[in-house]
């Protein structure tokens, strides 16, 4: 069974797929993403593979009626983005910048392809890292979900940025970027992108990556900006993997505008949600977070931003950078 189920209380679609129960969990002697496997073959640097255990499919069956409740076909695409042939690399900061740029270019190309598909309303490109996050395969990879609906969090961002634009005539994200570049929570910048811990962070070391130019989709970035985005992602992950002197488990999400309609007021951005606190223990999303979706922040964002700046300066000595860490 594969279908979408609508929650009338929140306006969310829930993706239901029985096939997900069959996915492997950290196989010891075999990696399906390494070169030479049945799925990958040889001679590649970055790969887009179909998810063998998808939530969505363009041939999903029409679901049976459910009386009062609303269902829909689970139309869409679930893919795996294998970022490197090398199995034992831990994160993007261990890849050279040209390799990360290839990953970012793949994001751009698949966005362009999916924008032409009439069944796709939104594409979520994301990356999960670490056993604490629940990653089932350790080979460096990301994922994408192309959905026939706009996710709730994206809808909220669209609504708030649209209303702000109507009131002020400017982009809300551009204003946030101006505020953060004043320096108190800014971490890193190059010619095209900035990395910062936001004023309203939910997670102790949460970092956001914003393009300085006002664009809505990856497809609008030119080659130099793609390289600068790769640089910013390398520095962001290197900083997170340095700040607590250990690998940082996190979830990363690329936020683009939806595909149908006019979203001139929206702004491409990337968000990292690292789950460790200052003492290295997990910051759990528990009662308030799960029950209300409102977060508590354990600490002071500005103090954690200073720790990230110190980690940034240490990280770029190891990985190099096209820009500068804030002091």
Both tokens of residue 155? 């809808």
Query: Rounded CA gap, 205 and 201, in Å?
Result: 8
DSSP symbols for 5-46: EEETTTTEEEEEEGGGGG-----SS--TTSTTSTTT-SS-SS
Q: What are phi and psi of 216, to 5 degrees?
A: -105, -30
Query: Rounded CA gap, 101 and 94, in Å?
Result: 13
Query: Rounded CA gap, 77 and 279, in Å?
Result: 39
Query: Rounded CA gap, 229 and 7, in Å?
Result: 36
Closest CA to 229 of 248, 256, 198: 256
List Cβ neighbours of 192 (8 Å cut-off, separation of 6 or more). 211, 212, 213, 224, 225, 228, 229
How far CA 27 is from CA of 24, 136, 235, 267, in Å, comes to 7, 8, 30, 39
Answer yes or no: 141 catalytic. Answer: yes
Q: Which of 98, 119, 139, 141 is catalytic?
A: 141
The catalytic site residues sit at 141
């Amino acid at each position: 069974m594969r279908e979408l189920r609508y929650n009338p209380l929140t306006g969310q679609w829930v993706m239901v797929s029985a096939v997900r129960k069959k996915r492997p969990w950290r196989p010891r002697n075999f990696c399906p993403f390494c070169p030479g496997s049945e799925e990958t073959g040889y001679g590649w640097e970055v790969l887009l593979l179909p998810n063998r255990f998808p939530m969505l499919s363009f041939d999903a069956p029409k679901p049976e009626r459910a009386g009062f409740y609303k269902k829909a076909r689970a139309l869409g695409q679930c893919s795996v983005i294998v970022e490197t042939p090398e199995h034992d690399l831990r994160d993007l900061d261990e890849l050279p910048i040209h390799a990360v740029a290839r990953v970012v270019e793949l994001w751009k190309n698949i966005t362009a392809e999916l924008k032409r598909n009439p069944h796709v309303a939104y594409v979520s490109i994301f990356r999960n890292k670490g056993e604490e996050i629940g990653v089932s395969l350790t080979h460096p990879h990301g994922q994408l979900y192309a959905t026939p609906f706009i996710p709730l969090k994206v809808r909220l961002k669209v609504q708030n940025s649209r209303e702000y634009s109507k009131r002020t005539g400017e982009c809300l994200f551009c204003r946030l970027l101006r505020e953060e570049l004043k320096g108190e929570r800014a971490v890193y910048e190059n010619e095209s992108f900035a990395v910062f811990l936001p004023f309203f962070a939910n997670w102790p070391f949460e970092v956001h990556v914003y393009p300085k130019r006002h664009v809505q989709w990856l497809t609008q970035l030119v080659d130099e900006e793609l390289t600068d985005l790769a640089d910013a992602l390398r520095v962001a992950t290197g900083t997170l993997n340095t700040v607590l002197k250990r690998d940082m488990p996190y979830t990363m999400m690329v936020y683009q505008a939806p595909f149908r309609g006019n979203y001139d007021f929206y702004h491409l951005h990337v968000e990292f949600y690292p789950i460790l606190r200052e003492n290295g223990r997990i910051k759990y999303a528990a009662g308030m977070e799960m029950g209300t979706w409102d977060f508590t922040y354990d600490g002071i964002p500005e103090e954690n931003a200073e720790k990230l700046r110190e980690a940034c300066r240490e990280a770029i000595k190891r990985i190099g950078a096209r820009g500068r860490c804030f002091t």
